Amino acid sequence: MLPKRETTVLPEKIGFMNITTWADSDETAVDKIREYIESLGWHLVSVEGAHTVNEGGKYGDVVLDQIERTRNNPNAIILGTFHTYKTN
């Protein structure tokens, strides 16, 4: 994701996060997330690994908390920790 209002892309502004939401398809989830992210002034560059939660899957505590918070609110879009990385 990138801040969409900035003209200079700084390495500390590029990153990724886990996001959970309710949707009936991967495409619907991406559209819903894109709209929300852009309302915050950010630009969604890409989505990798969109999938339905696997009830028997192994997730870390942070992601499990996100899943539970989303499960209790069908309108939720829960953003995880924003991890930055350098592009060069």
Side-chain-side CA neighbours of residue 7 (13 Å): 0
Give the global pTM.
Answer: 0.76
Q: How far apart are CA 30 and CA 23, in angstroms?
A: 9
Question: Tell me, what's the pLDDT at 46?
Answer: 87
Dig out the tokens for 11 from the structure. Answer: 């390495």
Instruction: Give the pLDDT means over successive 10-residue stretches in the chain (88 positions).
Output: 51 79 92 93 86 88 93 92 78
